[in-house]
Amino acid sequence: MSLTVRPVRGRRDLDAFLSLPARLDGAHPAFRTGLREDLLDALSDDNPLWAEGRGERELFLAWRGETPVARVLAHAHLASNLRHGEPEVGFFGCLACPDEPATLAALLDTATAWHRARGRTRLRGPYDLTITGCIGVVTAGFERPASFSQSWSAPHLPRLLEQYGMTVAYTATTLRCDDLSIVDEQSMLGPKQRAWLTEPGVTLRTFRMDRFEADMFAATDLLNRSFSDNWGFVPMSEDEVRFIAAPMKRVVRPELTVFLELHGRAVGVGLFLPDFNEVFARMGGRLWPLGWATFLWHQRKVRAAVAQFIATDPTLQDKGVMRIIVAELVKNLKGAGFTSLDGTWIGDSNAKSLRTAESVGMREKHRLAVYQST
């Protein structure tokens, strides 16, 4: 039966788009479902990423007769194109495809044509959805399921992308420490760190829920300033932060975010979360019909944490601040009963972060690659 690729239109298509990864890859032992509502929100018009002049997207499904067999998102993040002087780049993401070169080619030909019609000639991805989210396909570590904020993809995808003629644009790693009890947070504090901690005006504190928005903005301000030179980075706008932070209000664990302040000004932050994927798996990837109460009840029992990001004020880097924050977070994680720590991706060019991750016993979990057309 012949294959057709069509844009997603209507509820039935959208449902097929959201369900496709589980249908294709659900039998793989490392497959874990994300939260359906999360992706729906991210793709909806409510996401400021898609506001007029900032970005655009089209969801595509490949059909064989009445059966959806593959999916891809074609999207543009215009702030990224502008910041990096790459008006020719169009992203793809949400890739799910069987081990069929012709199906992948049909999907990516469609995404390419969609971008070309809008003046963009180079396809790059996967991006789910921007550089501050999940990027890349997994190229090693397929046997390890993704934790929250990590991606997992089927083992055949790198080969299919290469057969299609794409080349690797960037590589990254996710890391994991299986057993936090072997990490001695006190020994992470050397003379540099101890000197900081006796400095007048230096304080460590956890996230304050009574000033949720102010703390969220303090954290993302540090993220925006410190990540500025990282590959592909685009600062997050206030409305993007608000959009992403809104659902987090219910789930942030204050003790898993630590600020280091200098005379009341945040100069370093580490933001960790429980591994919500464990909860999503129990709920079958849907909030409905059990809702937030069930989610919150299950999430208290999660013993795995995921580092979302760590950032130090650019004027104070290489002075030992990150180690202080990480040591404090390890102490808090253990105190709250967490036994393992994962991290979101770290680019291969980010030697400092890789070094610190290794110093807390984290080891490579997945290798990731972002591909692009030539």
Ligand X SMILES: CC(C)(COP(=O)(O)OP(=O)(O)OC[C@H]1O[C@@H](n2cnc3c(N)ncnc32)[C@H](O)[C@@H]1OP(=O)(O)O)[C@@H](O)C(=O)NCCC(=O)NCCS
Contacts with ligand X by CB under 6 A lie at 226-227, 230, 309-312, 317-323, 346, 350-353, 355-356, 359
Beta strands in the chain (DSSP E): 3-7, 55-64, 67-77, 89-96, 122-125, 127-128, 134-135, 137-140, 167-177, 202-206, 257-262, 265-274, 304-312, 340-343, 346-347, 363-372
Q: Least distance to ligand X from the beta carbon of 311, Å?
A: 4
Smaller CB separation from ligand X, 163 or 230: 230
- The DSSP output letter for 235 is P
Q: Which is nearer to ligand X, 240 or 313 (CB)?
A: 313
Note whether 366 and 174 are within 8 A (CB). yes
Q: Which is nearer to ligand X, 169 or 223 (CB)?
A: 223
Q: State which residue, 277 or 312, has the beta carbon closest to ligand X.
A: 312
Cβ closest to ligand X, residue 57 vs residue 366? 366
Minimum distance from residue 314 beta carbon to ligand X (Å): 7
Closest approach of ligand X to the CB of residue 172, in Å: 10
Kindly tell me which of 257 and 373 has the beta carbon lying closer to ligand X.
Answer: 257
Contacts of 143 (CB under 8 A, 6+ apart): 29, 30
| Sign, Cα dihedral of 217, 213, 132, 273 | positive
Sign for the CA dihedral angle at 206, 211, 216, 219 comes to negative
CB of 317 to ligand X, least distance (A): 3
Minimum distance of ligand X from residue 38's CB (angstroms): 20
Q: Closest CB to ligand X among 215 and 313?
A: 313
Measured CA to CA, the distance from residue 373 to residue 132 in angstroms comes to 22
Rounded to a whole number of angstroms, the minimum distance from the CB of residue 354 to ligand X is 7
Closest-CA residue to 98 (of 136, 147, 64, 66): 64
The nearest distance, CB 243 to ligand X, in angstroms, is 20
Q: How far apart are CA 308 and CA 365, in angstroms?
A: 15
